[in-house]
Structure 1
Amino acid sequence: MNKPLILVIEDDKAVRNLITATLETQDYRYLTAGTGRQGIQEATLKQPDIILLDLGLPDRDGIEVIQTLRSWSRMPIIVISARSEDRDKIEALDAGADDYLTKPFSVEELLARVRVTLRRMRYIQTQNEESPIFTNGDLKIDYSSGCVWLQDRELHLTPSEYKLLCLLAHNVGKVMTHTAILKAIWGSTLDSDVASLRVFMTTLRKKLESSTSSLPYIQTHVGVGYRMLRIEKPDDDAALPENKPHR
């Protein structure tokens, strides 16, 4: 079975070489592009499994590249950028990026983000979209009945909490921005509604963390949004460093 193919769109040669050398250590196949135009061409022709994208490209902004790719493809995009402001992260994620890694970064974190994305891809591919049951660690959602269980104990959620949980479950492993969540759940994108979202998310997390397992199902990305983590069973892969709280 072929290793996943990863497209690296990065104009800085030193950073590009660091990334490709890191991918080589895990025997990942890779392609490189130094401009947005070349990156879009490679993505169109080679159909990579993941794209690692810098935002500061010489010919066009990375946000434009994301928007172009999202007009025809759902291939995962991990942004790797020196832009560290929350508004930059939010703009990239709202444009369609799946994750955001800030430069400078550690090679261990880069590989962890790639592993998470690949597992999310495999999970989506192996799940029937019409399947009425979602499972993640000790969490189980029965979409047909609208019931949720944690460690075989039924959780009693409000309608808003249930909608939030289902939205995160459908996007497990992907960062969902405040704007994306508000639009999907309440059809609103007002900044003033973020406070209400935080309240609902706090009560939901308390219910998810009230069991003896204390597994961190929902990760907060401060100032950006939330992500449901993919929980590994004890006999699955070892827990990943990205399951630590996001700073």
Structure 2
Amino acid sequence: MKEEKPIILVVEDETDVLRINARMLTRRGYTVYTAKNCRQAYERMEAPTPDLLILDIMLPDGSGYDICERFRSTSDHPVIFLTGKGETCDKVEGLGHGGDYYLTKPYDPDELLAVADMLIKRHLQTKKKREQLTRIVKGSLVLDIPKFKATVNGTDAELTAKEFALLLLLVQSEDKEVPPHELYEKVWGTPSGEDIRTIRFHIKNLRRKIHADDANDYDIVSVYRKGYMFTTVC
């Protein structure tokens, strides 16, 4: 059986940049879809789901942030922001919206290829490992791995893809402190640098959604200067 090529969706309103990147990625062996605006991107995200998104931020009919958030609501597949917005605050915002990597224009095509290769490789490896698992039960908390879904007392916690990935990593490391930089690197697939605000933001939302403060059989605790730990109460 012939192995299917990974699919990349490139969303870019600059025609020359779109054409160059599409050609480069196609030559690399990927199946490439393109979109010049949000409307086209939403249509091409439906089926099949891209293995990687490469997003410009400033688009004629909206923002790449909006596309990323919609994609993140149903998928944990990686996202690269490729944009002219190069301030540190822009990068922080991009990662906060669910991006895995932030590349500013002008950019090195070789770096874009290297990052795309790395993120897709890690995504496919994670997908393969996840498919080997099925269900994890920790008291009233149940993780349905194939569906990327968590329930608390039978009610859907409505986690984003990144939140579920964080929770799964913490649960699989039960009773062990996981440093913020390790959480970032394993979930986002790139080094965190010195910025751990993204992790704090997602952990805060995760604890709220799984009712960690109210649960009497599990918790996500912050361990001073060490990281975060999932623990259960017998």
For the criterion TM > 0.5, the same-fold answer is yes
1:26 to 20, 25, 28: 28
1:71-150 matches, within 5 Å, as 71-128=73-130, 143=173, 146=176
Change (3 A) 1:200 1:144: closer
The aligned residue for residue 46 of structure 1 is 48
Contact 2:181 2:196 in 1 (8 A): no
Cα distance, 1:185 vs. partner? Answer: 5.8
Letter in 2 for 1:168: Y
Q: 1:68 to 1:186 in 2, by over 3 A?
A: closer
* Paired residues for 1:1-247 under 5 Å: 1-128=3-130, 143=173, 146=176, 159=177, 162-164=178-180, 166-168=182-184, 170-171=186-187, 173-174=189-190, 176=192, 177-184=195-202, 200=225
Residue 36 of structure 1 and its aligned partner are, at CA, apart by 0.9
Q: Scaled by the length of structure 1, what TM-score is found?
A: 0.59
Per the normalisation by structure 2, the TM-score is: 0.62
Q: Secondary structure at the match of 1:19?
A: helix
Q: Would the aligned equivalents of 1:163 and 1:185 in 2 still touch at CA under 8 Å?
A: no
**2: CA distance between counterparts of 1:169 and 1:111?**
19
Give the drift of 1:15: 0.3
Matched-pair contact (CA < 8 Å) for 2:181–2:191: no
Answer yes or no: is the 8 Å Cα contact 1:50–1:77 preserved in 2. yes
In structure 2, the CA distance between the partners of 1:72 and 1:172, relative to structure 1 (3 Å rule), is closer
> d(CA) in 2 for partners of 1:73 and 1:84?
26
- Please, which runs of 5 or more residues in structure 1 have no aligned partner? 132-141, 147-158, 188-198, 205-247
State the one-letter code of the partner of 2:115.
R
Provide structure 2 residue ranges, at least 5 long, that are not aligned to the other structure: 137-171, 206-223, 228-234
Taking a change above 3 Å as real, the CA distance of residues 67 and 170 of structure 1, as seen in their structure-2 partners, is same
Taking a change above 3 Å as real, the CA distance of residues 185 and 41 of structure 1, as seen in their structure-2 partners, is closer
8 Å Cα contact 2:180/2:196 also seen in 1: no
Partner amino acid, structure 2, of 1:66: C
Q: What is the number of residues matched between the two proteins?
A: 167
Q: SS at 2:82's partner residue?
A: strand
Q: Secondary structure at the match of 2:60?
A: coil
Rounded Cα–Cα distance in structure 1 between residues aligned with 2:225 and 2:23 = 43
Report the 3-state secondary structure (helix = DSSP H, G, I; strand = E; otherwise coil) of the residue aligned with 2:115.
helix
Counterpart-to-counterpart distance in 2, 1:62 and 1:42: 14
CA gap 1:13/1:169 in 2 versus in 1, 3 angstroms: closer
Identity %: 29
Q: Is the 8 A contact 2:10 2:33 kept in 1?
A: yes
SS at match of 2:62: coil
Distance 1:185 1:45 in 2: 30
8 Å contact 1:55–1:80 — kept in the other structure?
Answer: yes
